[in-house]
Structure 1
Amino acid sequence: MKIPNLLPLIPLAFALQLPAQAAPQPLSHVPTSIAMWPGAQYDSQIPTIEQILGYKIGERITSNEDMLRYFDALAQAAPERIKIFNYGQSWEGRKLIYAVIGKPETIAHLEQFAADMQTLADPRKLNNQQAKALIDKLPSSVWLEHSVHGNEISSTDAAMMTTYHLLAAQHDAVIDKIFANTLVFIDPLQNPDGRNRFVNYYYQSVGMVPSSDRLSVEHNEPWPGGRSNHYLFDMNRDWLAITQPETAGRVSALLHYKPNIVIDLHEMGGDSSYFFVPAANPFNPHMNQAQIANNTLVGKNNAKYFDHFGFDYFTHEVFDAFYPGYGDSWPTFYGASAATYEVASARGDSFRTVTGNTITYPQTVQKHFVAAIATAEMAADNRQKLLSDFYQYQQQAISAGKDDSKERTFIIPAVRDAAGSYKLATLMAKHGVEVQQADKPFSACGKDYAAGAYIIDTAQPRGRFVKTTFTKQVDMAQDFLKEQERRRARKLDDEIYDVTAWSLPLMFNIDTDACGKAVAVSSHQLTADTPLLGKVTHADAKVAYLVPWGDMAAGRFLTAALQAGLTVKSADKAFVTGDNKHYPAGSLIVEVKANPENIAELVNHIAHNSGAQVTGVDSSWVSQGPSFGSENTITMTAPNVAMAWDEPVSSLSAGAARFVVEQEFHWPVTAIRSDKLASANLSHYQVLILPSGDYSSALGEAGATNLKTWVKQGGVLITFADATRFATQPKISLLDVQQELAYKAPPATAEKSAATPSKNGADDKDSKDNRVPGQLLKSNAELISAIENDKETPDNVAGVLANVEVDQEHWLTAGVNPQVVSLVSGHDIYTPIKLASGKNVAWFADEKHLLASGYLWQENLQQLAYKPFLIYQPSGKGMVIGYTEDPTSRAYLDGLNVMLMNTIFRAAAHATPLR
């Protein structure tokens, strides 16, 4: 039935009474601002945030662009007291800056300050009297790092307020004291890409009135959230590997000025209060007591101001000082006193806590601002002490190196893995470590080394950094470990905050030797940008060019050659050419007749850019192993690689995996939203990577069926960590292995005791009141046994480095060393795959040799021995390859990169789809 148009029947008089349409109302924000520093008098010549950006401090979450605009305005208003420097660019092209604030004469001669700090940092170049003269004239210095996590938003606005207050406050004894004694460096935004992701989402989601409810949409970011940068890295964990350009720029700037105090300002859960130093146990043993004492002085000065303002805070209960790869710990090892500050986050304009209180964005900004001023005052009050402690740190580092009779000098032979050794050596140079490269062969501590070996003497100012990153084992304090074992026995969570192992040579799988004395040899100092040059021997080869497989130089040669459209073969097994030269399994063969006429020019160009060592041959004769035309010599393909993206993927795992493939392997990746994989036609792709994540809801049984069909048609499915757990689920059955429960040793045979349940004459199954037989418990041990969970998973592991044995007779591990090292974390342990289904291609070492570094619970150590790390399961024309741990974690497990390249490129070549 047609509904008649009733609008003409509305009386005109009534229509005239309707209100006029209101103009759109701007989104409301926090209605009131806060006096950030009550009673402060400000110079009107210094522009306020409101004058430049149109809102008062804390009334809006400032974007990266507006932050830059405000700092430019401050620099124009007070050029004699503030300078702004670019220190890099984010992946998405956003500018990274730091500001330096100080008295005019220091700002005018800033490079002289940097030069003086470099001199003070090296006691080998001056005596104590000269050092004292520098200490008497130099200002102390504070570096304030803000918002390394993009959704920890308040510190960037606090950075703006801190800078304004320092420049504009008048008749303020604290500010006068800071200018008289201290330089303040402010990095206002370490992660602009992540912040913009958060800010854009927040203002797209917020309603007419911002909600303080933690359930509201603006308080729940979609995947991946704003915490990470473009490649989804937690950049607060990137200070060891320095994989991201943002980190590299900060490291360079800090090494240039070597500020005395470095503070990293963060946010934590909104139900907490505020954290500052002292840090929690354990402390890294390569810190010294003066640094710890200075952090306590920082904390006490913060406490003075927090008490004055009435701010709650806590210290030393969490956030330890053990792992050296944070923004608040890395500076420790050039001699700074470094710390983290954490404020309870509003994650927007306001947040209602579990106690019913509401915290507002301006309040969080104010707390960080007050802590920053308090820290700068501490640096001003302790100028001479901080500089003296800094100088003494360098002296102690050099002395500790000279006194070490076992590990005075580390030597990287650079024979087995030239590309990996080069990367490790240049990484240390990037960290400011002095690295020498031998110009000729030499002997040290009874061992001979070829020219080109890298030498690191720990008797240098950065010696303690070398010790904490090159020593295989850095121990936590025994009393701390004893307490963790006590907590485990009580079924309480342990207090280990992050990984307990980070030895760079182990993670790079690079052989290093330690020598207990200085090494004297003709050498030159390596720089961070020294290139690794490739070489082609016999460049006008008539038959083929051979590239030994086993390092990333060869890996980058392969990807460049495939992208250039060259035909490349790879030997499944090792071979020996007619001139008696040995080539490992996986070695590349570029045949002249199968490629363009300018192949010599192309090979030379690719070798030069990749660092690969290439040898031309005029004969294809092979005396041992597969010939160039053997079935054991496969033709490599250029696979289209896809990767699962978005929920439920771990954003950190996805980001690291994509980074490694794209930026380390130089191969493009197509990211596909996980739920699309359940029904998508994947025939365009030869390889699909599932980073760590629980895919049960996104894929489920239907998605698993789709993947199985694709694999059988020739696809290569690669799973990492939690994705491997998904693949092993009975209803999914992509991998024929099972996740193990914790192993429980059978109880010792004992006489029947009073603890044995007694029968009451009735079967408890039939008991109407649901009672069970009684038992007597005589000790805490019996209590623990009585409450034990029979279906318990192994205890969670924070993160250790474990030795992995590698099958040397499988094409999937061609060119991979017999032993590699993996990070082990979490609690997943798997049964070995049966031969009927596949192959355990790599497995954890035996109990005695399994732990390479870190602290591992004894029960986990015993159960993990001989369990699989890399699983291969063929299916139809394709295969599933499962890693039981994440091989790309934090992109710092370089020693696993050749294995991962094999599982992408060699696996794609071994799959047999219709071509």
Structure 2
Amino acid sequence: MKLKLLLFSAFFTIGSLFSQTIQSPSEFLGYEIGSRFTRHHKVVDYFTYVSETLSNVTLEKYGETNEHRPLYVSYISSQENIDNLENIRKNNLAQTGIIDGNSDNKKAIVWLSYNVHGNEASSTEAAMLTIYELVTNKKDWLKNTVVIMDPCINPDGRDRYVNWYNQVKSTPFDIGQDAKEHHEPWPGGRPNHYLFDLNRDWAWVTQIESQQRIKMYNKWMPHVHVDFHEQGINSPYYFAPAAEPFHEVITDWQRSFQTQIGKNHASYFDKEGWLYFTKESFDLLYPSYGDTYPIYMGAIGMTYEQAGHGRAGLGITTNEGEVLTLTSRATHHMTTGLSTVEISSKNAEKLNTEFKKFFDNNNSDYKSFVLKNDNDDKTNRLKNLLNTHEIKYEFANSGTIKGYNYGTQKEEKFTTSKGDLVIHTNQPKGTMVKVLFEPKAKLVDSLTYDITAWSLPYAYGFNAVASKTKVTTTTFTITKNITNSIDKNAYAYIAKWNSIEDAKFLATLLKENITPRFAEKPFSLEGNSYERGTLVILRNDNRFADFDSKLLAISNSNNRKIQPVSTGFVDAGLDFGSYSVKPINKQKVALLSGEGTSSLSFGEIWHFFEQELKYPLTVINSDYFSRTDFSSYDVIIIPNGRYSSVLDKSTLDKLTTFTRSGGTLITIGGALSSFADKKGFALKSKKSKEDTIKSNLTPYAELERKSVRNLITGAIFKSKVDASHPLAFGYNDEYFSLKLSGSTYDYLENGGNVAYFDKGTKNISGYAGSKAVKKVPESLLFGEEQKGRGSIIYMVDNPLFRSFWDNGKLFLANAVFLLNSDDLN
């Protein structure tokens, strides 16, 4: 059977000789591609079939999702190249300097990634068409090209969408926009199991899919990488070249070859009369996309966008009256995929030459980034990220250097200590180092697709300096083995509190029914000093036979140091029997989900509890939230979202009763708008002096650019912190926050302003609109409004954003465990 959708163009004609050799996707599956959605296991079956049938195709499993679906890449090339695949890989890596060896590579390496967003489902269908065409009609391109195909980056999200669509679609499918099959329910198929956007996770690798994929990417370091996507149903096809802003590290070659690729695509689209656009909407700045991450690793990284998304189904009528079908969507993606391989094959030698040049990193403005190692847990978390990306780091000597101080935003002297972390830009992945660590990215255009600030020293909470001279380092190796021992005569055991690892330790104690306390005030005892938040685990609170051995096992498994002490009579501060040494209850936590909730914000919290704290929570859906018995819980978390219909007056009254009875209500981001300016709540929206109605005489052509003056699209601001408040235990007196919107609120008149922006606040890095930025000074960041025995926590900025803003996570842990813990349950 010939593929009907390929007959329209000679470019895609399949010769009878080839069709006798291997089955097409339609022949193998038993239905025409585009007539239904293919579930993930069937896609895997087809790629397995091709690799088992043809010796010039190999399939490699590289991982598994949270829902246990397999992740694969397929290698397609000539027989000669497949037989020599490992040498090609090593020769290519030698070009980067990552490994030593023969760097005389002549083969182009093209990586095609499909379906990172699960409900952008046409690309996986296109992947099957593309591999078939490559191994049949386009074999000549494979003589000097290795094609790596990942047919589905996000199979959990894809099957969530496909299974839903198959359940609700009409037969035949309904092309009307009002039909149920074109209105996907919350949370949609776009994200993965934990509702993370995997296309924003390339650099941060917080998700299991990303972690496994990056290992494979580092193994190959391709020359060209394509990320296939879908957009709104009324949009023409988008392909490279991308829009400004381009990050300054992007080379002239990377820019120019994008244009060559775009022109090659255009030649095929022009023949068919298909609409397309370039140089708009999709920029190359934020480093964690499937196009930018590869670019900063030396590749030609590109996003291709087909109309469709989760609305299109098998077919839908656009606003122009055209019927957009899955068949046509898959065909368009196949066309650009094949065109990419073609132009790469024709330029294989040039791709290798320019790829090798990219890794000369001697010309960076900053030669070294030095991060103060004053918190081993924090340092280890960053080292884990660097190890994942195979970025090298070293350790400083004691001394003084000069550079840009991240804390003061000034060029000044900086004292280093032996063991401080040093990351040089003069290394194979030095370009990525510059992008991830630079204090601020140069922004040539305010119209961007994503956040404009992400510098890791701010995100991880380091005191750091960027030096324009290379900092000398030592071979010093940090070895800090924590050893604990049982003291059955100990009055108590003491543990520090300043990291997420400490919070995980606490969560484990609570799950194992060990009751700890925390100190609200600093104290010293038996020659040691302890900060606010220090955990005090009293024998008197834990009178069971195996207390010591159980505590020892938990401490060792969590790599936490516990210090036994013989008395509760402190040398300075308040004794352990003081009211200020409060018990921590085994909190029962509820998390709101469903319509109105930001699925991404919900996913960040869900993932944080399950994968980092490893502490249970109960997920409550918004459609029955108002009928829930809130008294069953100690903590209720309302993620970022829009809740006008969920948080009505009756539900707000119930939540007020919950807090007055001792509960903690945590609100994040957009959720605050449901409480602001409402009777009975202290939160007030901040008004600008310019919030007056004026005639709008802005020319039409300038309206979009004018609108961004009211926006903050991911910019960093420095806040003041009341470190004496339990919400801020483990922090010092300042915190760098990633602000994601222009929403601002006044200081709480009746409550605790725990973190706030003072009068002189300015954005440190990233774009903030001229009008929006004026409202940030003298506004709230994190606050507590006490109500009866409980409280409401207002978190204006999201402390868990994409799980990469690592330094914010302890604020949420504090809110859950350290507030309203006055009495033992």
* TM interval, short-chain normalised: over 0.9
Q: Could you say which residue in structure 1 is the equivalent of 2:369?
A: 410
Listed one character per residue, the Cα deviations across residues 550-575 of structure 1 (whole Å, up to 9, x for unaligned) are 11221111111111111211001111
Q: Could you say which residue in structure 2 is the equivalent of 1:591?
A: 538
SS at match of 2:748: coil
Distance 1:699 1:782 in 2: 38
Indicate yes or no: 2:808 matched with 1:893. no
Is the 8 Å Cα contact of residues 150 and 196 (structure 1) preserved in structure 2? Answer: yes
1:853 to partner: Cα distance: 1.4
**1:282-293 alignment to 2 at 5 Å?**
282-293=245-256
Distance 1:458 1:67 in 2: 41
Distance 2:124 2:442 in 1: 36
Q: Once structures 1 and 2 are overlaid, which stretch shifts more, 84-93 or 428-437?
A: 428-437
Listed one character per residue, the Cα deviations across residues 441-471 of structure 1 (whole Å, up to 9, x for unaligned) are 6776676544443221110111111111111
Indicate yes or no: 2:731 matched with 1:816. yes
Distance 2:793 2:173 in 1: 47
Q: Could you say which residue in structure 2 is the equivalent of 1:35?
A: 7
Indicate yes or no: 2:481 matched with 1:517. no
Is the 8 Å Cα contact of residues 275 and 315 (structure 1) preserved in structure 2? Answer: yes
**1:1-16 alignment to 2 at 5 Å?**
none
Distance 2:251 2:526 in 1: 59
Q: 1:146 aligns with which of 114, 120, 143?
A: 114
Indicate yes or no: 2:315 matched with 1:350. yes
1:342 to partner: Cα distance: 0.2
**1:556-595 alignment to 2 at 5 Å?**
556-579=504-527, 581-595=528-542
Distance 1:842 1:741 in 2: 19
Indicate yes or no: 2:270 matched with 1:341. no
1:578 to partner: Cα distance: 3.5
1:591 to partner: Cα distance: 2.3
Distance 1:745 1:649 in 2: 28
- 1:583 aligned partner, one-letter code: Y
Q: 2:449 aligns with which of 497, 500, 503?
A: 497
Q: 1:736 aligns with which of 665, 682, 688?
A: 682
Q: Could you say which residue in structure 1 is the equivalent of 2:408?
A: none
Q: Could you say which residue in structure 1 is the equivalent of 2:410?
A: none
Listed one character per residue, the Cα deviations across residues 144-172 of structure 1 (whole Å, up to 9, x for unaligned) are 01010000010001011111111122xxx
1:379 to partner: Cα distance: 0.7
Indicate yes or no: 2:755 matched with 1:842. yes
Is the 8 Å Cα contact of residues 144 and 372 (structure 1) preserved in structure 2? Answer: yes
Q: How many residue pairs get matched? A: 800
1:38 to partner: Cα distance: 4.2
Q: 2:31 aligns with which of 22, 46, 55?
A: 55
Change in 2 beyond 3 A, CA 1:210/1:730: same
SS at match of 1:622: coil
Q: Could you say which residue in structure 1 is the equivalent of 2:555?
A: 607
**1:240-251 alignment to 2 at 5 Å?**
240-251=203-214
- 2:80 aligned partner, one-letter code: E
Is the 8 Å Cα contact of residues 534 and 609 (structure 1) preserved in structure 2? Answer: no
Distance 2:326 2:265 in 1: 20
Distance 2:739 2:134 in 1: 47
Distance 2:40 2:619 in 1: 27
Q: Could you say which residue in structure 2 is the equivalent of 1:167?
A: 135
Stretches of structure 2 lacking an aligned partner (at least 5 in a row): 403-412
Q: CA RMSD in A?
A: 2.6
Q: Could you say which residue in structure 2 is the equivalent of 1:72?
A: 48
Q: Could you say which residue in structure 1 is the equivalent of 2:382?
A: 424
Distance 1:465 1:291 in 2: 15
Is the 8 Å Cα contact of residues 14 and 136 (structure 2) preserved in structure 1? Answer: no
Is the 8 Å Cα contact of residues 800 and 856 (structure 1) preserved in structure 2? Answer: yes
Percent same amino acid at aligned positions?
29
Is the 8 Å Cα contact of residues 43 and 168 (structure 1) preserved in structure 2? Answer: yes
Distance 2:95 2:648 in 1: 61
Q: Could you say which residue in structure 1 is the equivalent of 2:710?
A: 795
Stretches of structure 1 lacking an aligned partner (at least 5 in a row): 1-30, 170-174, 482-494, 748-776
Is the 8 Å Cα contact of residues 641 and 668 (structure 1) preserved in structure 2? Answer: yes
Listed one character per residue, the Cα deviations across residues 883-909 of structure 1 (whole Å, up to 9, x for unaligned) are 112222211111111111111101142
Change in 2 beyond 3 A, CA 1:649/1:123: closer
1:329 to partner: Cα distance: 0.6
Q: Could you say which residue in structure 2 is the equivalent of 1:199?
A: 162
1:544 to partner: Cα distance: 2.2
Is the 8 Å Cα contact of residues 526 and 565 (structure 2) preserved in structure 1? Answer: no
Distance 2:648 2:708 in 1: 23
1:708 to partner: Cα distance: 1.4
1:674 to partner: Cα distance: 1.5
1:851 to partner: Cα distance: 1.6
Distance 1:632 1:123 in 2: 54
SS at match of 1:62: coil
Is the 8 Å Cα contact of residues 123 and 391 (structure 1) preserved in structure 2? Answer: no
Indicate yes or no: 2:173 matched with 1:210. yes
Is the 8 Å Cα contact of residues 422 and 473 (structure 2) preserved in structure 1? Answer: no
Change in 2 beyond 3 A, CA 1:242/1:783: closer
Distance 2:600 2:480 in 1: 30
Is the 8 Å Cα contact of residues 224 and 299 (structure 2) preserved in structure 1? Answer: yes
Indicate yes or no: 2:607 matched with 1:642. no
Is the 8 Å Cα contact of residues 799 and 825 (structure 1) preserved in structure 2? Answer: yes
Indicate yes or no: 2:69 matched with 1:117. no
Change in 2 beyond 3 A, CA 1:108/1:567: same
Q: Could you say which residue in structure 1 is the equivalent of 2:438?
A: 471
Q: Once structures 1 and 2 are overlaid, which stretch shifts more, 116-125 or 352-361?
A: 116-125
SS at match of 1:683: helix
Q: Could you say which residue in structure 2 is the equivalent of 1:544?
A: 492
Change in 2 beyond 3 A, CA 1:443/1:613: farther
**1:233-312 alignment to 2 at 5 Å?**
233-312=196-275
SS at match of 2:163: helix
Distance 1:872 1:49 in 2: 58
Distance 1:168 1:746 in 2: 66
**1:746-895 alignment to 2 at 5 Å?**
795-834=710-749, 837-847=750-760, 849-895=761-807
1:866 to partner: Cα distance: 2.0
Change in 2 beyond 3 A, CA 1:207/1:381: same
SS at match of 1:230: coil
Listed one character per residue, the Cα deviations across residues 15-69 of structure 1 (whole Å, up to 9, x for unaligned) are xxxxxxxxxxxxxxxx975537543213322122233211122221111111011
Change in 2 beyond 3 A, CA 1:210/1:551: same
Change in 2 beyond 3 A, CA 1:814/1:463: same
TM-score by length of 1: 0.83
1:794 to partner: Cα distance: 8.0
Is the 8 Å Cα contact of residues 535 and 604 (structure 1) preserved in structure 2? Answer: no
Change in 2 beyond 3 A, CA 1:188/1:278: same
Is the 8 Å Cα contact of residues 286 and 292 (structure 2) preserved in structure 1? Answer: yes
Is the 8 Å Cα contact of residues 343 and 368 (structure 1) preserved in structure 2? Answer: yes
1:598 to partner: Cα distance: 3.9
Distance 2:83 2:545 in 1: 60
SS at match of 1:840: strand
Q: Could you say which residue in structure 2 is the equivalent of 1:6?
A: none
Distance 1:525 1:855 in 2: 39
Q: Could you say which residue in structure 2 is the equivalent of 1:364?
A: 329
SS at match of 2:632: coil
Q: Could you say which residue in structure 2 is the equivalent of 1:28?
A: none
Q: Could you say which residue in structure 1 is the equivalent of 2:406?
A: none
1:520 to partner: Cα distance: 4.0
1:743 to partner: Cα distance: 2.8
- 1:40 aligned partner, one-letter code: I
SS at match of 2:350: helix
TM-score by length of 2: 0.92
Change in 2 beyond 3 A, CA 1:707/1:447: closer
Distance 2:794 2:787 in 1: 13
